[in-house]
């Protein structure tokens, strides 16, 4: 729907309309069929929290890809590619300073990777390669030795190898077809770990669990579950995102075994009542606990139908005239004046509200407007987050 239609609440021809009596009947039927909402799904601690320190580390590097079939960087438009190529050749004993390099088989790229926790020297990790200059495709290229640095500036891995891309470009004299992204590629097991991250898990006496979705109730439930497993009050929620576990002094077992048992504990996450709306794409995502209080709703639509039926006017026989077209416009206005207010009881959940609107063919745009209007009235017991 265009902006003009939205501002004037005018909808194009063919839009389906609903009456408030029909809406109320749908809500009542859904309330009887669905009853109360389903119970919250329980999850493992492993799926909703991470142990502090046990995490990936991001690596980044700058390198050169060679072996391209004329799809690399143009050295005039990418001076960094030219400088990198000259520096690499000088390290190999080839002096190209002052010469006119005109190759298009080389591309400058950024190389990224995630270093998993507890990776040891000699292990391999996957890397992602993305073109930095004006290269058309990285197909058939090979990444030269590229150091991968961490946030501290140290080299933790070395990447090299042939690229595998997920897209392609085919070009003819009059048309070009591109599928996927030919300027991005991956190298499976393309980097060797050269430096280990010093993190001694076995010597720790205090562990911290970090919740992926911070919530006070969920943190408390996690602490209670851990205390029940250990048999002592060793776990304590520090804030909505952190649960601290102090290992008991008499604990002499393997800490990996303990962490494995803690990961498998089942807790019931408590989620806030929230609605996420993407205005651009019309996507609506809602939580299960969203409710609406008693509220009266009416939706009125103004439909303007404009039909053009021009009539051709012919001159009389043997008359000195010309054929003309006489415009004729028919305008029909329907303001839906028969719609009335309908009261929705507080037993109707937002899920039932949206299901009823979907059953009547109400589009996401109108649904977003209805939800925002109910929220503005104070009847929607949830937080609306607009992306």
Rounded Cα–Cα distance for residues 80 and 133 (Å): 9
Tell me, what's the pLDDT at 191? 96
In terms of Cα–Cα distance, which of 64, 57, 52, 91 is closest to 195?
57
pLDDT at position 363, please?
67
Residues near 11 by Cβ (< 8 Å), separated by ≥ 6?
Answer: 1, 5, 301, 302, 303
> Please, what's the b/e burial string for 324-352 (b: 16 or more CB within 10 A of its CB; e: otherwise)?
eeeeeeeeeeeeeeebeebebeeebbbbb
Helix or strand run (H / E) with residue 278: strand 274-278
Look at residue 28 in the predicted model and tell me its pLDDT: 47
pLDDT mean by block of 10 residues, the chain; 387 residues: 36 40 47 44 89 90 94 87 89 82 90 94 95 91 95 95 83 73 92 90 86 93 93 92 87 81 92 82 78 68 61 75 75 56 56 63 72 81 82
pLDDT for 199 equals: 83
Q: What pLDDT sits at residue 308?
A: 64
> Tokens in use for 378?
């104070």
Q: What is the pLDDT of residue 40?
A: 54
Instruction: Name every residue whose Cβ is closer than 8 Å to that of residue 140 and which is 6 or more positions away in sequence.
Output: 67, 68, 69, 163
Question: What span, in angstroms and rounded, lies between the C-alpha atoms of 17 and 10?
Answer: 12
């Amino acid at each position: 729907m265009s902006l003009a239609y939205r501002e004037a609440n005018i909808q194009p021809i063919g839009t389906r309309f609903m009456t408030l009596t029909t809406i109320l009947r749908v809500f009542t039927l859904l309330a009887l069929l669905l009853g109360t909402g389903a119970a919250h799904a329980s999850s493992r601690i492993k799926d909703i929290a991470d142990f502090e320190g046990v995490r990936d580390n991001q690596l980044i590097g700058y390198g050169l890809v060679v072996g391209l079939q004329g799809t690399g960087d143009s050295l005039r438009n990418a001076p960094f590619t030219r400088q990198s190529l000259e520096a690499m050749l000088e390290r190999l004993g080839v002096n190209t300073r002052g010469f006119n390099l005109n190759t298009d088989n080389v591309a400058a790229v950024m190389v990224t990777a995630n270093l998993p926790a507890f990776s040891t020297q000699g292990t391999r990790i996957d890397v992602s390669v993305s073109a930095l200059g004006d290269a058309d495709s990285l197909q058939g290229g090979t990444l030269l030795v590229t150091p991968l640095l961490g946030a501290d500036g140290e080299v933790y891995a070395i990447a090299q190898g042939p690229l595998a891309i997920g897209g392609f470009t085919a070009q003819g004299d009059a048309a070009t077809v591109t599928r996927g992204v030919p300027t991005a590629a991956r190298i499976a097991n393309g980097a060797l770990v050269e430096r280990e991250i010093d993190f001694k898990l076995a010597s720790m006496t205090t562990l911290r669990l970090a919740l992926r979705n911070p919530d006070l109730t969920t943190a408390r439930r996690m602490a209670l579950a851990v205390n029940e497993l250990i048999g002592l009050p060793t776990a304590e929620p520090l804030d909505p995102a952190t649960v601290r576990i102090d290992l008991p002094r008499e604990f002499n077992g393997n800490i990996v075994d303990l962490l494995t048992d803690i990961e498998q504990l089942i807790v019931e996450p408590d989620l806030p009542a929230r609605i996420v709306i993407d205005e651009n794409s019309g996507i609506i995502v809602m939580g299960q606990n969203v409710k609406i209080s008693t509220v009266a709703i009416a939706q009125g639509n103004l439909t303007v139908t404009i039909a053009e039926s021009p009539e051709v006017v012919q001159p009389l026989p043997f008359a000195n005239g010309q054929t003309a077209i006489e415009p004729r416009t028919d305008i029909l206005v329907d303001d839906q004046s028969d719609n009335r207010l309908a009261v929705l009881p507080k037993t109707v959940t937002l899920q039932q509200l949206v299901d009823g609107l979907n059953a009547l063919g109400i589009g996401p745009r109108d649904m977003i407007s209805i939800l925002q209007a109910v929220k503005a009235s104070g009847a929607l017991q949830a937080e609306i987050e607009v992306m």
